[in-house]
Every structure is written in structure tokens, then in C-alpha cells.
């Protein structure tokens, strides 16, 4: 069983987090929505409140294959200010486990923290300066080693399908894409 953890902080971009969680679950991934706040009810950037499955601080991620960092403001900066989030990203990076980041998250959580040096990456338009140690591109989704980055809410489905392809192969990603009537190729 493949496992993923999607981090939720107040102000997260709802579509980026929930689309990824939904499509990963459709593919057969065990997905944990992990709150980094003091409560399991986390309110997104657009006022939608979601109940997380667990607190990040109490979640054993040793068997987790993928860490997902949604964007949104102030969600991304709330993730950035959480010491446990920073330690979790560092652990996944050291272990070369997949780290998916979308919208502002590639810039703020990966680029600003010098985690993308020498790699290609994409992020929300206007935040490319944070990717200066790597190569900023405008592709909707970029895979560079174990980092998967994406531009924003409009790329959430291709981002999720790319994560599925990495975890399960192209056939599973194509099957999920067909099931949700996506033109992903």
C-alpha cells in the first residue's frame, strides 16, 4: 500500500489539497490529511473548513511515500513557520522520498529554504525569485529528482496525476484520469 500525507495549515488552498487527496485515494493510496495547527478543523484560504485525519506532530510518517505541500496564503507561510513541517521536509529530502509542492509552496517551502538548488522547478507566477538557486520553468508540473512542483489551482489535476504516475505507474494515472474525465496524457 502506498501512503501519502497532505499537510493542512490554516489558509491552505482548498482545491490544491483536496484534489490531490481525492485523486490519490482514487488510485488506492492511503492518504492522511495532517493538521499542523492546534485543532483538527482547519480553515482554508477561501473559508472552507476541513477536518484533518490527524495532527502532524502525532503522525508516524516512516512508511509514508509522499509528502504533499499545498499552497495558499497564509497557509504556505503557516507551514513555513512550523518547526515540525521543516523537520518533516528535511527528513523526506534526506531519505529521497517524494515531496510534492504546488502554488506558493515550491517557492516558500522549498526554494526559499535552498532545497531546490540545481533543480528545475515551477511555482505560482511571480514567486520565481525564490527558485533562483535552481532553474525556474513555467511548465504546469515539473519532476526533478524526488521533488514534484506545480504552478497552482489550475494545475492541481495534472499535479495529482503526476504523483499517481510516480507512485503506481502511468497505467494507473491514465485510469484515474479517465475516471475523472481529465484530458491528461
Which of 5, 82, 103, 123 is catalytic? The answer is 103
* Furthest-apart CA atoms within the chain: distance in Å: 40
Residue 103: active-site member:
yes
Angle at 56 between CA 40 and CA 23, to 5 degrees: 80
Element counts in the chain: helices (H) and strands (E): 6, 11
CB atoms within 10 A of CB 50: 18
How many angstroms separate the CA atoms of 161 and 34, rounded? 21
Alpha helices by DSSP H, 95-134: 105
Nearest to 1 by CA among 40, 27, 33, 38: 27
Point out the residues that are catalytic. 103
Amino acid at each position: 500500500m502506498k501512503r501519502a500525507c497532505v499537510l493542512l495549515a490554516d489558509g491552505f488552498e482548498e482545491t490544491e489539497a483536496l484534489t490531490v487527496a481525492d485523486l490519490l485515494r482514487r488510485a488506492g493510496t492511503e492518504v492522511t490529511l495532517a493538521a499542523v495547527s492546534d485543532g483538527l478543523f482547519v480553515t482554508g484560504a477561501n473559508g472552507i473548513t476541513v477536518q484533518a485525519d490527524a495532527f502532524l506532530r502525532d503522525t508516524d510518517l516512516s512508511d509514508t511515500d509522499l509528502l504533499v505541500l499545498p499552497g495558499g496564503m497564509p497557509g504556505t507561510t503557516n507551514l513555513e513557520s512550523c518547526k515540525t513541517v521543516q523537520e518533516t521536509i528535511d527528513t523526506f529530502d534526506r531519505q529521497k522520498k517524494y515531496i510534492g509542492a504546488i502554488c506558493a509552496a515550491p517557492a516558500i517551502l522549498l526554494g526559499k529554504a535552498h532545497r531546490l538548488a540545481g533543480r528545475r522547478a515551477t511555482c505560482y507566477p511571480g514567486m520565481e525569485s525564490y527558485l533562483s538557486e535552481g532553474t525556474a520553468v513555467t511548465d504546469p508540473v515539473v519532476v526533478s529528482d524526488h521533488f514534484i512542483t506545480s504552478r497552482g489551482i489550475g494545475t492541481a489535476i495534472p499535479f495529482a496525476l503526476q504523483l499517481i504516475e510516480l507512485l503506481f505507474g502511468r497505467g494507473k494515472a491514465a485510469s484515474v484520469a479517465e475516471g475523472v474525465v481529465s484530458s491528461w496524457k
